[in-house]
Structures are given as C-alpha cells and as structure tokens.
Amino acid sequence: MLSFVGKRLGSLVVVLFFLTLLVFTLGKVADSDPVRTYVGVNASVEAVEAAREELGLDDPIPVQFASFVGGAVQGDFGVSLASKRPISDELSTRLPATLELAGWALTLTVLIGVSLASLYSRPGRIGAVLRFVFFSAASAPSFLIAMLSVLVFYKWLGGMLPAAGRSSYGPYDDGTGFYVIDGILHASPTYTWDAIQHLLLPALAASVGAGVALARVLADGISSSLSSPWARTARALGEREGTIVRRHALRNASSPALSLLAVQAGFMVSSLVVVEQVFSWNGLGSYLSSAIGVGDFPAIAAVCLILGAVYVVLNTLVDVALAAVDPRVRLS
Amino acid sequence: MADTTVLTVSDLTVTYRGRGRVVTAVSDVSLTIDAGRCLGLVGESGSGKSTIGAAVQGIIPADGVAEATGSIVIAGRELAPITDPAWTQVRGSDVTSVFQDPMRSLDPTMTIGRMLNRYTGSAEASVAALERVQIRRAGEVLKKYPHQLSGGMRQRVMIALALAPGPRLLIADEPTTALDVSVQAEVLGVLRESIEDAGCAVLFVTHDLGVARHMCDDIAVMKDGVVVEAGPAEDVIGRPSDPYTQRLMASRITLETDRSRPVGAPERAVVASMEDVLRGLDRPALDVTGAWSDGALTWEAFTGPTAAVGAASGHPEVRLVEHVTRASLAVNEVNKTYSTRARGRRVDNHVLKDVSFEIGYREAVALVGESGSGKSTLLRIAGGIETADTGTVDAQGVAGEGTQVVFQDAGASLTPWRTVEELLRERIEHTITGRGLSRAQMRAMALSTLELVGLDASVLAARPTQLSGGQQQRVAIARAVVVPPSVLLCDEPTSALDVSVACSVLNLINLLRHSLGISIMFVTHDLAAARLIADRVLVMTGGEIVETVPAERLAQDITTDYGRRLVDAVLA
C-alpha cells in the first residue's frame, strides 16, 4: 500500500510539472505583450524597456521558466499586471474562499449521491417521479440552478438564505480564511451559522448535477452487486438484505462511484468559476474572470496552476481511496 | 425413520411469470434426504434442478415473479416455499450451500479471514475449518483475498464457509463444473470427506452423471421440471429404466467409447446432415437412423475424396488428391513469453518452450492439459490471433483456406448485432473462394453449410442471442467451415454445453472432418472428448509437449505421471 501511494505521489509531481510547463508556454505564445498591459498603452520606450527588465522578460526563456517554477513552488506567482500587487497577496483571501466552497460542494455531492441512491431503486411511481425530477436537475447547467435557487430561497421565501457574499460580519483579522472554521475557533455560534448559511446556496448549485450523477452510478453498482454470485453466497449463509448492502454491496459499488467523483470534482472546479460570479463569492473564480478581462496573464497562470493542482491532488486522493477499497487494484 | 429425515419436499411446483407468460420450472416434485445421505439431482439446462436447489434454501426472491405450491420440511420445520418468513432463520444455520462459480461467489473486497471468522467465531476456528478442507498454511490463506487464490482453493474456502455453521442440509449446486478436471477430482474428494465428517444431508445438483455416480448415494433424474427416474445411484446409472436417462447415459463419453462411430442416440439434426453429405457424395442412400441405432454406422461411410471440399464451398470442379505429404499445420520451435510488472520488476512467464508439432492432411490432433499449460496460447498462435516470439507456424496446407477457430463460448464469439447470414457472409467475403460472389451465391453457400451443421433457413435472419447455446455453437462451426479451412482449431468447444448437446457437437465435428477432409486441432482438458475426435493426443504441461499418444488406447498407453492424472480425472 505504501509503495502504491509513493508511486501515485511521484506521478503527481510529474503531472504538476507538465501543467506548469503548459501554462508557461501558453503565456509565451499568447498574442499579448505583458509589458504593455503592465505600463499602459501610452508609456515611453524607456519605460517599456525598464518594465521589461523589471519583469525579467529579458532573460532567456529557460531561465524565465526556471524562475517561474521556483516561484510557483514557494507560492510566489509574480506581480499582477493589473493591480501591480503580488499575486500571492491577492490570492491569500481568495484561495480559502474557493477551497471552503469546493469542500462543502464535494461534501454535499456525496450526501446527495448517497441519499438519492437509496431513493433511486424505489419501485413504482414515487421512484419514477424522483428520477425525472433529479434528471432534470442534473441536466441543467450550474448557473441556471444557481439563479433558480437565488430566486426561490432569497426572493420568494423572503431571504430565507443569503444570496451573496461569504458572511454578514466580515473576516476575523487573525482568521484562517475558512469562515466556518474561524467561527468555531472563536467559539462564535452566530458567526459560524451565518457562514454556513452563506455557503449553502452556492455549494448546492455546484453540487446538484454531480450528486445526481453519483447517485445513479452508486445505485447501479449496488443493484448489480446485490444480484452478484457473492451476494447470493451471503444470502445462503443467512445474511439479511440490509447486512448484505452494508457489509458487501456498498464497498463493491464504491469503486465506480469514486472514479466518477474524481471526474466530477474536475467539472466542479470549473463550474465554481461561474457559481462564484452569481453569488458574488470573492474566490478564485471571480478573480480569474476579471483577470481574463484585462489580459493579466500572470494572474491567469497562477489561478490555472492552483485549480489544476487541486484537481490533480483530488484525483490522486481518489486513486488511493480506490486502492484502499478494492484489493484487486493494489495487489495485482 | 422420521427423525433422521432432514429434507422432505412434497409436491413442489414453481412457476415463473414473465412477459405475459407463465413458465413452470418445477412441477410436482417430491424428494426426501436422510442425514448423512447424498441425493444427486441430475438434469440438463432448464430441467429445473437448480430451481429446486434454490427453493430448498429459500433464496428465490419473493418479488412476485416466482410462485410456488407444495411444502418443504427441513429438520422437522415445515416451510412454505419462497414466501415463508422463517426462511431467514433456516438459511445459514440449518441449510447452507456451495455454488458453481468459485471465481465470483466470494466477495472480492474481503479477505478470506474476514469472511470466515464471521461464521466460525474466531481466527483459530477459521484455521481449523480451512484445515478440515485440506488447505495447508491456513493462517496465510486467511489473510488473502479471493483473487489471490486458485479456483480449487476458492472452492475449498466455499466448502469451509458452507460447513462452518454446522448445517443439517448442504446444497451443492454444480460445485465443480467450473473447475479443471484434475482439480475437480480433488475438490470432490474434499467435499465428500467433509460432508462425511459433518454428517449432514446433501442435495447435489449436477448435469454430470459421472460426478453424480461418484458422489451420491441416490440419484433423481430431472427433465422439464419433472423427476423422470429416482433410486439408488447404482441402479439409476447401471440399469436406467427411463428412456431419457438411457439417452443421457448413452451421450456420456468415456475412455472406452467406440471412436469409429457416432456417439449417443441418433439425433434428427445430425442424421439430416449425414443424409445431406451422403447425397453430395452420390452414395446409395442408406438408412442412416437405422444403421446408427444398430451400431453399423461408421465415419468411413462419409469419407469422400477431396471433391467434398469443392462441393461444400459451392465449387463444382473437383481436385483429386491421392497422396498428401505436406502437413496442414506445421508448428516449429515456437516460443512465447508474457511479461508483467510486479513491484517495479519484470516477471517473465515462459508460456511456450520450443514447441514443435505437425498436423497432417485430414488428421485430427488433440492438445490436452490443465489451465496454464499453454495449450490455448498455442491454439491462438496457430490461428494467427497471436504471434510467436520465435519459431514458425505454417498453416498453408493443401486444401482449404487458412485456419478457423471455434471457441468455447460461442455466444461471446458471435457479434451480437449481426444476423447469422451476415456472420457467415463476413467469413466468405474474406476468402479467395468468396471473391466476386454475388449476395445470392453467398446466401446459397451459407444455407447449405447451415444445413450441414443441422440448422435450417429459419436461422439465417436470427441474431445470436435468439439462439440456444447448442445452436450458437453450430453457427460458430458453420461460420468456420462455410469456406473450409485447412485446419479447424477448436478451443474447448463443448465444455460449456449440456451433455447431450456436447455429444451432438462432437458428432458434428467428426462428420465435418470426414466429409470435408479438413484437419483438426482440438484443445481441451477433457481426455474423453479428445480421444473421440483425435487420432493423436498431445499432452501439454508447463509450456511443453511432454507426450504424444495414439488415441485408440489412450488410457493404457499414456505414461507420464501428468497424463495418468488426467486419465484418473475422467470419472468413469
């Protein structure tokens, strides 16, 4: 098991390296001059040269790449061309915001998936209606669900849930940036509950589609597990259906569900960019869309790298979880 | 005595409802088994034997699809079939079972120990349970997962699991059918000893009369949901009174079966093919059925000149070949190695080691050996499906076109969305014979070949899934011989079939061999079938041909230890 994890970590480093290379190359071949973005259109020739040197763009390409990688490893992504501030400073509040939202969305995905999976197999009308409703929900794009949920929970239900921002109170000065955790650390139930309320709608919008897909795969897995020869063996040995589901079927059905979750997590990262816009969530997504608007390439590269890294790490975690669940993966 | 009776089934009828039809799987069956006795329930697919096996352990789902009447009494407790809520108490305590497929009957995500400890109570008791089924180093086996064990080991684990709760009744549903023959003998031995120790009653469900005779005290023969004959094993096997049992017995092939004649009772489809062949050969129409029943029908009657090759392929021009010295298949010093990576190191598996052999014109050669002996790899290399690392394969032959393969699982080897006609046409189009033929000509070829294998025009438009297992195998054979190959490669073509169907497929292969003059390479682990088809039997083990024996006196002439083990594994 340890060597398996080691191998996975090794390939993770390789993938991240190539991701960095890709992002860097894109920046070089993109048809925009970063210096112009930095100094403005009307700057003098001298100012342009000075800025070029300041940004390190005089160096040979390999040297530029090396310093880019070196910086990225330490969390230094250079200076934003638009705001002239270090990108890492700007991201320090936004990264926790996105990670917190992503974490909640993933948790909700699993919750929705597991609870729907048990409803899915309901025979008769109720099951059919539920399947229809959730199918529609899954096929709607996340921004539509986001706007609908704002309409329902904020407008029609009289502000039952907040529809914008992360908190009614603002951040703690010495906080981690994860508001729910901050609230718990400061022993403030009001603050914590408020942060959770703010999280619910965006997390729901980002997780409905993934959750329904997960439910489907999980339900299929469980029902095929229950008709498998080893389930029959368990039955013949006197196990009750509930025991068979808990002891045997869930574990066997979770392999395909986990694989799907890894893919869905990737989609979720990109759908967060949109969801954050709708809910005025000050995270990486809204940062990215404003950076794209002004051609702030170092900022775009930084966000792409971080989102990519999150995706790769999630996938690695799922691979390890798969190996833990299915001995055939790690022992053959 | 009533108190020793463990199982009493009275007037059990089970019906399945589906697609608006009601199918009776079991009808008015009554059985009893006493403690310490083994009752064999013998029958072919669809006879209802497995339904009874499932009914007496209460694992037929009570979802309204299946309905049952009658009663089942287990260890003095009367239960209504299927619906009785008390089944959950009986199952796993009074009744347990061993199933057919040891590959999939154990949860792949659990260690043997975790599964077994639940029913034995402790790791020590589990070790003892495994030792009772003759598993050595039981402590290590407890830490393993099912996929790390061989088929025979898994089935021993199944037996240990089934006997762990100390059941009064054990259901064994085809427990060795999926195993290699020599492993089968071992596992049957283990099962027999274990149940003698446990003293429980056994319901042994099987399609194999040989296995039933070996294992059971009493035998009940089933056909179409009805018990047609029941009694002590020796009486039923030795002096069968029911015509169906007699037919089943006649379909059994042993190492003594006469090789020069068709086996089993005359069968309509095969008889029709034979008459067809005789007509094609312009032989005086003899009464095939009569001659077959009298034992006067020999394969020689169907041996024609090479002309038959032309006739079957739709080409009337005759090529007479008197003496052929060129081999149809020549395999010369073939080596094959499969490499896998384990823990970063390369592990080489030398599957074939300098294998050489020839199959002459019109000769049939069988290749026997257990799983992993390399026989199937050799067949795939001979058929050009895989390539050898070193060495040569020459399948040019004198007559016929190349090689064709008939696989064990005919259902899987036929493309499911194609009709039979399309499947046959596909082969014709890829041969020299088929070049430039019109649709109608190809259709005529397909039809005459289908008739040759005992099918008719009605299957032309059918898709493989609409056919029975026996029909699928016939279509697979028809596809292989529609343009006769120089060598027909058969990879265990009968091991997935019922006894009587297997018997007729073997007859068909023999008929085609004699009438079309094709050479045959027959890969199997069943010595009796090998002997029936082949002139010579090659015994393979560990990637090498260790022995070549003439088929006629196989049982007497085979000398290697390994060969003798295979002989002993054929249950007489």
Which candidate in B65, B109, B143 is best for mutational testing of the A interface (most A CBs within 10 A)?
B109
Closest partner CB to A236 (pick from B59, B101, B145): B59
The 10s digit of each residue's pLDDT in B13-60 is 999 887 778 888 899 999 999 999 999 999 888 888 989 999 999 888
pLDDT for B257 equals: 86
Contact indicator for A65, A24 with CB cutoff of 8 Å:
yes
Residue of B nearest to A6 (CA): B343
Q: A97-288: what CATH class?
A: mainly alpha
Burial pattern A225-242, b for ≥16 Cβ within 10 A else e, equals bbebbbbbbbbbbbbeee
DSSP letters spanning B513-562: HHHH--EEEEEES-HHHHHHH-SEEEEEETTEEEEEEESTTHHHH--SHH
Contacts of B148 in chain A (CB under 8 A): 331
**What is residue A255's predicted lDDT score, i.e. its pLDDT?**
86
Which A residues 225-284 touch B at CB under 8 Å?
228-230, 232-240, 248, 251-252
Q: How many CB atoms lie within 10 A of CB B390?
A: 12
The closest of A145, A139, A296 to A212, measured between CA atoms, is A139
Residue in B99, B109, B162 nearest the CB of A251:
B109
Nearest-5° angle of CA B541, CA B546, CA B548?
A: 120
> Are A3 and B106 a contacting pair at CB < 8 A?
no
Residue A242 one-letter amino acid: G
Per-residue pLDDT for B316 more than 50? no
Assess whether pLDDT exceeds 90 at residue B8: yes
Considering only CB atoms, A235 lies closest to which of B59, B148, B343, namely B59
A97 to A72, A91, A206, A209: CA distances (angstroms): 20, 10, 14, 21
Q: Look at residue B301 in the predicted model and tell me its pLDDT.
A: 84
Contact A3 B343 (CB under 8 A): yes
Q: Between A and B, how many residue pairs show a Cβ–Cβ distance under 8 A?
A: 72
d(CA B69, CA B82): 9
Q: Which two tokens stand for residue B559?
A: 């000398």
pLDDT at B1: 43
Q: Which position has the higher pLDDT, B95 or B265?
A: B95
CA distance B557 to B288: 34
Closest Cα in chain A to B163: A237
Give the whole-angstrom CA distance, residue A48 versus residue B52: 90
User: pLDDT category, B308, cuts 50, 70, 90?
Assistant: very low
Q: Which candidate in A233, A243, A245, A326 is best for mutational testing of the B interface (most B CBs within 10 A)?
A: A233
Q: Is B177 on the interface with A (CB under 8 A)?
A: no
Report the C-alpha gap between A230 and A248 in whole angstroms: 9
Instruction: For an interface test with B, give the residue of A5, A226, A237, A239 to mutate (most B CBs within 10 A).
Output: A237
Residue B310 has pLDDT above 50, yes or no: no
Chain A partners of B108 at a C-beta cutoff of 8 Å? 230, 252, 326-328
Q: Is B123 exposed, middle or buried (0-12, 13-18, 19+ CB in 10 A)?
A: middle
pLDDT at A31: 61
**Per-residue confidence (pLDDT) for residue B318, from 0 to 100:** 45
Nearest-neighbour CA in chain B from A132: distance (Å): 24
Domains of chain B: 2-250 (3.40.50.300), 268-312 (no CATH), 329-417+484-569 (3.40.50.300)
B276 pLDDT band, cuts 50/70/90, is confident
Give me chain B's average pLDDT, please. Answer: 86
CB contact B266 to A (< 8 Å)? no
Return the pLDDT at B324: 64
Q: What is the mean pLDDT of residues B555-562?
A: 86
* Contact between A228 and B104 using a beta-carbon 8 Å cutoff: yes
Calculated CA dihedral for residues A31, A34, A37, A38, nearest 10 degrees: 180
**B537 inside 8 A of chain A by CB:** no
Q: Return the pLDDT at B478.
A: 92
Of all residues in chain B, the percent with pLDDT exceeding 70 is: 94
The pLDDT of residue A332 is 57
* Pairwise CB contact (< 8 Å): B99 & A248: no
pLDDT of residue A172: 79
Q: Which of B464, B486, B491, B490 is nearest to B475 (CA)?
A: B464
pLDDT tens per residue across span B467-516: 888 889 889 999 998 988 989 999 988 877 778 888 888 998 998 888 88
Cα B401 from Cα B486, distance rounded (Å): 5
pLDDT of residue B285: 66
Count the helices and strands in chain B (H runs, E runs).
Answer: 22, 19
Q: Where are the domains of chain A?
A: 97-288
CB–CB of B115/B94 below 8 Å? Answer: no
| Mean pLDDT value of segment B351-370 | 90
Q: Is the dihedral of CA B530, B531, B535, B537 positive or negative?
A: positive
Q: Do residues B245 and B231 touch, judged by C-beta distance below 8 A?
A: no
B110 touches chain A (CB under 8 A): yes
Nearest one of B369, B407, B390 to B488, comparing CA atoms: B407
Q: Given an 8 Å threshold on Cβ–Cβ distance, is B147 in contact with A230?
A: no
In this model, does residue B112 exceed pLDDT 90? yes
Q: What angle (nearest 5°) sits at the alpha carbon of residue A140, between those of residues A136 and A142?
A: 135
Which ranges of chain A have pLDDT less than 70? 30-34, 36-37, 41, 121-124, 331-332
Answer yes or no: do A331 and B145 touch at CB < 8 A: yes
